[in-house]
Amino acid sequence: MFDLKLIRENPDGFDAGLARRGLGPRAAEILAFDEQARKFTHSLNELQARRNASSKEIGQAKAKGDEDRFNALRAEVETIKQEIPAEEEGRERAMSAVNDILSGVPNIPDDDVPAGEDEDANVEIRRWGEPAKLDGAKEHFDLGEALGQMDFETAVKMSGSRFVLLKGQLARLERALASFMLDLHTNEFGYTECQPPLLVKDETLYGTGQLPKFAEDQFVTTADLTLIPTAEVSLTNIVREEILSAEALPLRFTAWTPCFRSEAGSAGRDTRGMIRLHQFSKVELVSITTPDQSNAEHERMTECAEEILKRLELPYRTMVLCTGDMGFSARKTYDIEVWLPGQDRYREISSCSNCGDFQARRMNTRFRGEGEKHTSFVNTLNGSGLAVGRTLVALLENYQQPDGSIAVPAVLQPYMGGAEKIEALT
RNA sequence: GGAGACGUGGCCGAGUGGUCGAAGGCGCUCCCCUGCUAAGGGAGUAUACCCCAAAAGGGUAUCGAGGGUUCGAAUCCCUUCGUCUCCGCCA
């Protein structure tokens, strides 16, 4: 969502920003409706002022027992009242026209975001670890199925495609990874652990930008509540409609939750294995900051996510997404891609975005500096720290042994009951 | 799920049709007084939008939300959301 004042002041700048997203200009159209709305608001305010003034006089006239004056004023108010609905409707129409356009417009990219159409234009900014070139490296689903602990068939039986049933040590590995991640983020990086609702209202999804544009990507229940596609939704909306004090910022929240995505439009992509599921678990990071802190917080958050991979000794590279590959609400996004020997390529395992005040405007989340009279919108950031399912995939592929077992990285062993490797069920 | 009560400013709380954006208290800010401390006095203290070059000033809306009645609604009616109490059920 955008500041209408800024669009008024600099319509060309707004359109230029849209152009970087590959979108056509909208400023002229928006401002035309905006001007209409303002005109209606103005005349409506004047009518209401006259009505209010006369109504007050009516009270006084009645108190004095001045019947003629009383009746004259009543007639006057009556005519004013007849004019009001038309103004209200006009304003409503114009305002919702502005809103309809604005709520479907994505965030404007930061100046330093590289231009480009798709993921091929993303720019690598750093790389950590040595990508393993294993002879005969297997993909995670072959490894998991051979271990007898990653069961797609049974999942299909009960839920259909894009689900998985983990069992035994792989089920535990999922839990171990999540615990490890949460411990790091809470103990070392100052995030507050949360257990948020997984079902949310439409307004909540609107706040973070999933609605109105991406309704098809969500699983909606019969109770009109929607399963969260990411804990970003719940964690960011913690501050919805709040006015925070600047001293309280930054706020940092983390949560391990299941995420539900319909994956509409990705038919045929990553159909095998655990890469793209309707349900997966993720440890999410969310920060609420002042505008001047948000860029630094973005770097920090990305490093928090990277630190997980370092400690698990999984090679990765960090990319800046180009203008064409960024999500709807993001102003700038870093993707962290982990090395998968089985696929012989890097795959996204985390996405860290600075949304600026885009979501804050939708949520109406503001802060007030000390001694300040006026409020400003906060900035919001979110990142995966990390996608747990994909981390499990990376672990299997990078730690696979010739005998089909999986070595357990040292930092994870305490979370695995001391196990040093994962072996087939006997 | 059944019965009842309630939702007012940062907090508490008054207000049952007009002069109420809202008494009073607490908290907070500023000033004054007081030889520390304690106490006391005064002023200020919601959000958004609009008018105004700006300030001053003014206007509109908001008393959970939405709608209605009325010349006029925090106050009456309807719907809805939420909270509390009792009962039932339940992890």
Query: Once rounded to an integer, what is the mean pLDDT over residues A199-225?
Result: 88
What pLDDT is attached to residue A412? 98
CA distance A420 to A414: 9
Q: Looking at A93-97, A154-158, A308-312, A381-385, which range is the least confident one?
A: A93-97
Q: Is the CB of A3 under 7 A from strand B?
A: no
Whether the pLDDT of residue A124 is over 80: the answer is: yes
**Average pLDDT of span A202-228:** 89
Q: Are residues A67 and A185 in the same domain?
A: no
**Distance in Å, residue A229 CA to nucleotide B53 C1':** 49
Expressed as residue numbers, the domain containing A374 is 119-422
Lowest mean pLDDT among A146-155, A263-272, A349-358, A413-422: A263-272
Q: Which residues of A are identified as catalytic?
A: 261, 276, 348, 351, 390
* Residue A403: inside a domain: yes
Q: Note whether residue A362 is domain-resident.
A: yes
**Does one domain contain both A277 and A219?**
yes
The answer to whether A263 touches A162, Cβ cutoff 8 Å, is: yes
- What mean pLDDT, rounded, does chain A reach? 92
Residue A74 has pLDDT above 90, yes or no: no
Number of independent structural domains in chain A:
2
Residue A344 has pLDDT above 90, yes or no: yes
Instruction: Name the domain boundary from A48, A70, A103.
Output: A103
Same-domain pairing of A352 and A319? yes
pLDDT at A80: 87
Instruction: Assess if residue A148 is contained within a domain.
Output: yes
Distance in Å, residue A411 CA to nucleotide B5 C1' = 55
Its pTM stands at 0.91
Beta carbon of A59 within 7 Å of strand B? yes
For residues A316 and A406, membership in a common domain is answered with yes
Asked whether residue A113 is domain-assigned, the answer is no
DSSP A301-356: HHHHHHHHHHHTT--EEEEEPPTTTS-TT-SEEEEEEEEETTTTEEEEEEEEEE-T
Strand B bases contacted by the protein (CB, 7 Å): 18-19, 47-51, 59-61, 71-72
Phi-psi region of A152 (alpha: psi -120 to 50; beta: other; left: phi over 0): alpha
Distances (CA, A) of A369 to A177, A378, A403: 39, 11, 60
Residues A126 and A65 in one domain: no
Q: Same structural domain for residues A65 and A133? A: no
Instruction: Give the end of a domain, one of A103, A131, A152.
Output: A103
Residue partners of A180: CB distance under 8 A and separation at least 6: A308, A311, A411, A412, A415
- Per-residue pLDDT tens over the stretch A350-399: 999 999 999 999 988 888 876 677 788 899 999 999 999 999 999 999 99
- Same domain membership, residue A129 and residue A90: no
Are residue A80 and residue A147 in the same domain, yes or no?
Answer: no
The ipTM assigned to this model is 0.83
Residues A44-58 have a mean pLDDT of: 87
Whether residue A110 lies inside any domain: the answer is no
A109 domain residue, yes or no: no
Do residues A72 and A212 both lie within one domain? no
Which residue from A426, A422, A423 is spatially nearest to A173, judged by alpha carbons?
Answer: A422
Query: What tens digit of pLDDT does each residue of A78-122 get?
Result: 888 888 888 888 888 888 888 889 989 999 999 999 999 999 999
Specify whether A36 is located in the same domain as A161. no
* Residues above pLDDT 90, as percent of chain A: 65
- A321 within some domain: yes
> Considering A57, A79, A103, which residue would you say is the last residue of a domain?
A103
Q: How confident is the model over A264-302, as pLDDT tens digits?
A: 888 888 889 999 999 999 999 999 999 999 999 999 999
| Residue A19 and residue A145 share a domain | no
How far in angstroms lies nucleotide B35's C1' from the CA of residue A246? 39
CATH of the domain at A223: 3.30.930.10
Assess if residue A108 is contained within a domain: no
Closest C1' nucleotide to A372's CA: B29
Burial level of A28, CB count in 10 A (0-12/13-18/19+)? exposed
Q: For residue A134, is pLDDT > 90? A: no
Looking at residues A310-336, what average pLDDT do you find? 97
Q: Can you give the CATH number for the domain in which A74 is found? A: 1.10.287.40
Instruction: Using the structure, give the distance in angstroms from the CA atom of A219 to the C1' atom of B36, rounded to a whole number.
Output: 68
The nucleotide closest to A374 (CA, C1' atoms): B47
A48 Cβ within 7 A of any nucleic strand B atom: yes
In the prediction, which pLDDT does A371 show?
A: 63
Give the nucleotide at minimum CA-to-C1' distance from A56: B18
A257 plus A385 within the same structural domain: yes
